[in-house]
A = this chain, B = another copy of it.
Amino acid sequence: MLNPVTPEFETELRALLPAAAFKADTEKYFTESRARWHGHGLVVAPGTTEEVAAMVKACHAARVGIVPYGGGTGLVGGQIMEDGPTPVVLSVERLNQIRDVYPRENVMVVEAGVILADVQKAAEDIDRLFPLSLASEGSARIGGLLATNAGGVNVLRYGNARAQCLGLEVVRADGSVWHGLSRLRKDNTGYDLRNLMIGSEGTLGIITAAALKLVPCPAERGAAMMAVTSPAAALDLLAMAGARMAEGISAFELMHRQGMDFLAEVGPEVKAPLSPSPEWIVLIDVGLPRGLSPDAALEELFAEAFAAGLVSDGVIAQSEADRLSFWHIRESIPEANRRIGSVSSHDISVPLGSVPAFIDEGAELLEKLGDFRINCFGHLGDGNLHYNVFPAAGKSRADYGNLRDVVKKAVHDLAHAHGGSVSAEHGIGRLKVDDLETYADPAKQAMMRAIKDALDPEGILNPGAVMRRA
């Protein structure tokens, strides 16, 4: 059993760390954007790896839980512990240094508290791209992004957060430090602890710094919106685009007309890209080598796809402003969703080939359960759909209170039946611990438990996240 933070323990920590590490107003650390949880704890913000190590060592000795806190943007409650003995909330905000930049290596070493947008900017400053990009990039911090293996819009081309990381510095449960800030592209010396830490949501160690991989900026950028005749046609279009441009496709996003209707109904105001509004639109973003015109490449793709009956309409960005306006539409959908208010939201993935069947079967299932509007959109290139279920027009989420869990279970069961995931990019946190127990392979769960017990025998690291407290 863990112990709570006591006044004596707080005194001990205050003797170990400078005053700046202790915050006066800590309420913001206990809430999150969806207002589902309310946390508690002693908020501590160490300024160096050594301070983190000293603090963790003290918690380990006292058997006090530690809840790591990045930008607070997680959607599954990984950063918020509601119950149990009062923990330390370890905010990484003061670990905010870009330690080194290596242009010749396409590498940057940053501390865990650096904000994603600042990493992107520092990469731009040396004419490189840090491709991790997602809605919360203005506040999400690198430590949290790696701990949750964040996804976003560029995963198709560049991979999840884990693919952007070459090395880590991690404070272990006992306060010892793994100095693993490798800048190597290849290193086959022993177990892959980097990827084990990434995505473990702070339950196996505290990431204090990371060596991040940068990539060259694509020389020529472009984008198109195309009306596809079906989700299956969208997949065929993706394959056709792949045969032409391979990794040149940076993003391939699917949007249903429902999203456009929501935008028209509640805003934010956007200009509809195609009129009349088609049932399904894809946003294709490309970054091509020097000497190849994105417009021409996208026009040729459209012509081939039109001849094959995959697309019925389309518009190609004529400028960077056009390209950004396409993205503005895509990125406004979550806000419209929030304004409408979902009955249940799902971050699922299925094998690419199962996307059309999942969409058809999902609609059938929900029709049997009640009167809903479905806004299905997301990162089609990754098989990752934000499959969100809303009240029928004129109704509100309150009218569906008793159906919420039924809808969630139906959608998750369906994704699972297709070999899919019930958390494609948001992680498990505390929200989906039950789902993990329900859907994950038993051998996988047994291995996870064994690893957790091996690396954090006292269970002090993010207690109750990912897995139930032992």
Q: Which residues of A contact B (CB under 8 A)?
A: 102-107, 127, 148-149, 151, 155-156, 160, 162-163, 170, 172, 176-180, 182-193, 195-196, 198-200, 204, 215-219, 235-236, 239, 242-248, 287-292, 296-297, 300, 349-353, 379, 381-384, 419-428, 432, 435-436, 439-448, 450-451, 453-455, 466
User: Which residues of chain B are within 8 angstroms of A442 by Cβ–Cβ distance?
Assistant: 176
User: Which residues of chain B are within 8 angstroms of A297 by Cβ–Cβ distance?
Assistant: 289-291
Most buried by B among A182, A236, A248: A248
- Pick from B189, B247, B350, B428: contact of A190, CB below 8 A: B428
How distant is A418 from chain B, measured CB to nearest CB, in Å? Answer: 10
User: Which residues of chain B are within 8 angstroms of A127 by Cβ–Cβ distance?
Assistant: 243
What CA separation (Å) do A177 and B446 show in the bound complex? 11
How distant is A185 from chain B, measured CB to nearest CB, in Å? Answer: 4
27 A-B pairs with C-beta separation under 8 A: A107-B352, A127-B243, A155-B186, A160-B188, A177-B443, A183-B419, A184-B351, A184-B420, A186-B382, A186-B421, A187-B349, A188-B427, A189-B428, A190-B428, A191-B448, A192-B195, A192-B199, A196-B451, A215-B246, A216-B239, A219-B246, A244-B289, A246-B289, A247-B248, A288-B292, A451-B455, A453-B454
- Pick from B163, B176, B352: contact of A105, CB below 8 A: B352
Are B451 and A190 touching (Cβ within 8 A)? no
- Pick from B103, B190, B424: contact of A188, CB below 8 A: B424
What CA separation (Å) do A308 and B149 show in the bound complex? 40
In the complex formed, the residue of B with least CB distance to A447 is B193
Q: What's the number of copies of this chain in the assembled complex?
A: 2
Are B443 and A450 touching (Cβ within 8 A)? no
Are A187 and B421 touching (Cβ within 8 A)? yes
Are A436 and B191 touching (Cβ within 8 A)? no
Are B287 and A246 touching (Cβ within 8 A)? yes
How distant is A55 from chain B, measured CB to nearest CB, in Å? Answer: 17
What CA separation (Å) do A103 and B239 show in the bound complex? 9
User: Which residues of chain B are within 8 angstroms of A440 by Cβ–Cβ distance?
Assistant: 189-190
User: Which residues of chain B are within 8 angstroms of A423 by Cβ–Cβ distance?
Assistant: 187-189
- Pick from B239, B291, B292: contact of A300, CB below 8 A: B291
